[in-house]
Amino acid sequence: MQSTIEQSRAGERPLTQRVALVTGVGPGLGRACAVALAQAGADVAICDVDTATLEATRAAVEAEGAQCLAVRCNVSSSVDVQGMFSRLTERFGTLHILVNNAALTPNRPEDARRRNIHYGYVTTPVPRQSLGFTSGMSDEDWQRYWGVNVHGVFHCTREALRLMEPQRYGRIVNVASIAGISPMSAHSPHYSASKGAVIAFSKSLAAEVAGANIYVNVLAPGGVATPEFNAYLGSLGEEARNRLWQMVPSGRLGTPEEYASTVIHLAGDHYLVGQVISPNGGAVI
């Protein structure tokens, strides 16, 4: 006979009595993941460097009836991360699910310029040449992505494992990008490299900890319909937008909620270990 908990998890709230942590909870994928985890029955800790973002996401999580701990934390700082985990264990006692979503993305004017050049290059018949992105990149531009995108994933994962290993249970979802598995983001080699590093780390880690019933997997999204990306699309002319959609067979971006539904599966009971799952509308098959 199933226990009450098992019956609950088999129903509409499969993550009841689980505690989850989502990093980087701005409007878009991070907030959607936090809300979806709450809807699935988990209590949720969230972190971000922006206080207004934290409060908005906390309100959205609590509106689903879940407990929520909101912590301002720069995940590139191991000291900040240790402090966050101290507060998490004080509030909830342990952690079952970690979603490493915090990341820097290419959103500066120079990044948009390179993106426009790249998209034009791959969607129009022009002579083949080097686009000169890597040779023109500064040390500062290259290095700025590693603190959050790579070191932050390590810092949070290390602290999470110190809770998950003794209890012999955990689910870790590292959010990488289609940029880490394809040339779709050739306009941003620094970002692509950092997301490729997340994938390599995740595969190594997955093999290390699976024997303790800690399953590590990667979500590698294609384009996400975030406010930021929608603003970029709005800055393009109709012809340029139509050329961009030629790269995506579905002809649209994925919604944050669509991506979050995959995270919910990876946060639950399954047999996936060290897999890279890339919802991307067919851009990479």
Phi, psi of 189 (to 5 degrees): -60, -30
Write down the pLDDT at residue 11: 60
Is residue 4 included in any domain, yes or no? no
Is residue 156 assigned to a domain? yes
Residue 284 lies in a domain: no
* Tens digits of residue pLDDT in 268-277: 999 999 999 9
d(CA 61, CA 234) in angstroms, rounded, equals: 29
Q: What would you measure as the largest C-alpha separation in the chain, in angstroms?
A: 68
Is the confidence at residue 4, as pLDDT, over 70? no
Confidence of residue 8 (pLDDT cuts 50, 70, 90): very low
pLDDT at 3 over 50: no
**Cβ pair 276, 220 in contact under 8 A:** yes
Q: How confident is the model at residue 80 (pLDDT cuts 50, 70, 90)?
A: very high
User: 118: domain range?
Assistant: 14-277
Residue 8 is assigned to a structural domain of this protein: no
Hunting for tokens 């006692």 — which residue is that?
93
Mean pLDDT of the chain: 94
User: Measured between alpha carbons, how far is 148 from 91 in angstroms, rounded to an integer?
Assistant: 25
Using CA atoms, how far residue 3 sits from 7, 8, 9, 272, in Å, is 6, 9, 10, 25
Please report the pLDDT score of residue 241 as a whole number. Answer: 87
Domain membership flag for residue 7:
no
Is the pLDDT score of 164 beyond 60? yes
Reported pTM: 0.93
Q: Please give the pLDDT value at position 171.
A: 99
pLDDT computed for residue 271 by the predictor = 98
174 phi, psi to nearest 5 deg: -100, 120
Mean pLDDT of 15-22: 98
Does some domain include residue 285? no
Query: How many distinct structural domains can be found in the chain?
Result: 1
Percentage of the chain beyond pLDDT 90 is 87
User: Is 246 within a domain?
Assistant: yes
**What CATH number does the domain containing 185 carry?**
3.40.50.720
Distances in whole angstroms, Cα of residue 133 to Cα of each of 93, 175, 231, 270: 47, 25, 23, 41
Decide if pLDDT at 10 tops 90: no
**In this structure, is residue 3 part of a structural domain?**
no
Residues recognised as catalytic:
191
